Amino acid sequence: MDKLTERKKRLLEAVVDSYITSAEPISSAAIQQGYMPDVSTATIRSELAGLEEMGYLVKPHVSAGRVPSSKAYRFYVDSLMQNVTPGDVDELESEGRERIEGVESIVKEAVKVVSDITNYTSLMVLEGKDDLIVRQVKLVGLGDKTALVIIITDGGVLRDSVINLPENTQEGYLDAASSLINGSMAGKSIKTITGGEVISNVEEFKALFDQIIAMLRQYVQGGEVYVEGADKIFAYPEYRDVDNVKGFLSVISQKDKLQELTSGDGVEITVKIGAEEGVKNMAVVSARYLVSGRQIGHVGVIGPERMDYRKVIKVLTTIGKMSEEKKED
């Protein structure tokens, strides 16, 4: 198999860079003018033909110009990952930190930050962790016989949910319930709490206990997925094609598929591209999401193959770094 020469590598990076920005094939003259002024257009045309033969470039139609293939994006990402340095993420830190501070890095906000900054659809896939230690359970009355339950663990805010309160609750019910619940649950692992070792001996609070334990059991089952900015995909010309839209909507609606696409075997950043993963014309970039050194899931971006990988990788690296720092404070 032919190897990429340094000139072919430069040329391929130029083609991918241009296509990410414009979604249009680039001419040999434009490549010479914008990227390789030291190379003649005739040589560029010859090299482009060679890249097509090697499978890095394709022609969508007979009369169309050459555009990058999944193989080209893989080369581009691998090259990019070799050159990412810690300093590359600094420029995004202030914007992301301003958004995340004040909400204790709740995963929903983290996903929204990623979508807002990248302008792509973002997602968070959580893993169930039964070894987390419950620090506190907060109960906030909402009126109309409901209350907000906030569960805080050694990994930060685990989740919040609205629950129903028993009929005919008296004033002071939530304070008494909060005291009893925290006395029973604080300092214990989720595994211990959901394993039947924590029960309410007070009939008045049994229903409330059961709802909180059910919340923890649902969390341990794992696989919760949050998706933000699904409509942003329609800003990209690839998704004027009905088949591409159907494919995208199908992927984001499949929890198991999203878990598969964001799994990374312990690596910090994972990039899965198009045909490699059975997601035609799409790519998924994901990062481990750690809390106090403990991985609780993956945060990622799903978008067209020609996504701005450089920016997405910077954003995900920054968000992952900030989430760990914030919750260790």
**Is residue 203 assigned to a domain?**
yes
Percent of the chain with pLDDT over 70: 83
Residues 119 and 268 in one domain: yes
Residues 167 and 43 in one domain: no
Q: What is the pLDDT of residue 157?
A: 63
Mean pLDDT of 289-304: 83
List, for residues 82-100, the tens digit of each pLDDT value. Answer: 765 544 445 445 444 444 4
Query: What is the Cα–Cα distance from 110 to 289, expressed in whole angstroms?
Result: 10
List, for residues 151-186, the tens digit of each pLDDT value. Answer: 888 766 666 788 888 777 777 888 888 898 898 888
Mean pLDDT of 196-221: 77
Query: What is the Cα–Cα distance from 120 to 300, expressed in whole angstroms?
Result: 10
**Is residue 229 assigned to a domain?**
yes
**Is residue 74 assigned to a domain?**
no
Pairwise pLDDT comparison (226 vs 88), residue with the higher score: 226
- Please tell me the total count of domains within the chain: 3
Query: What is the Cα–Cα distance from 71 to 53, expressed in whole angstroms?
Result: 12
**Is residue 79 assigned to a domain?**
no
Give the domain range for residue 279.
Answer: 86-126+223-328
Residues 227 and 115 in one domain: yes
**Is residue 73 assigned to a domain?**
no
Domain's final residue, options 221, 243, 259: 221
Quick one: tokens of 201? Answer: 């001996």
Residues 118 and 243 in one domain: yes
Residues 15 and 164 in one domain: no
Residues 216 and 227 in one domain: no
Domain's final residue, options 221, 241, 261: 221
**Is residue 319 assigned to a domain?**
yes
Kindly tell me if the per-residue pLDDT of 247 is higher than 50. yes
Q: What is the pLDDT of residue 174?
A: 87
Q: What is the pLDDT of residue 81?
A: 77
Quick one: tokens of 281? Answer: 């014309």
**Could you tell me if 130 and 191 are in contact, meaning their C-beta atoms sit under 8 angstroms apart?**
yes
Mean of the per-residue pLDDT values for the chain?
A: 82
* pTM for the structure as a whole: 0.71
Kindly tell me if the per-residue pLDDT of 277 is higher than 80. no
Residues 35 and 178 in one domain: no
Residues 231 and 300 in one domain: yes
Pairwise pLDDT comparison (62 vs 131), residue with the higher score: 131
**Is residue 271 assigned to a domain?**
yes
User: 163-188 as b/e, with b when 16 or more CB fall inside 10 Å?
Assistant: bebeeebeeebbeebbebbbebbeee
Residues 105 and 181 in one domain: no
Residues 95 and 235 in one domain: yes
Residues 214 and 256 in one domain: no
List, for residues 92-148, the tens digit of each pLDDT value. Answer: 454 444 444 433 345 777 888 899 999 999 999 887 677 778 888 888 888 778 888
**Could you tell me if 327 and 109 are in contact, meaning their C-beta atoms sit under 8 angstroms apart?**
no
Residues 105 and 212 in one domain: no
Looking at residue 94, which CATH number applies to its domain? 3.30.450.40
Kindly tell me if the per-residue pLDDT of 264 is higher than 90. no
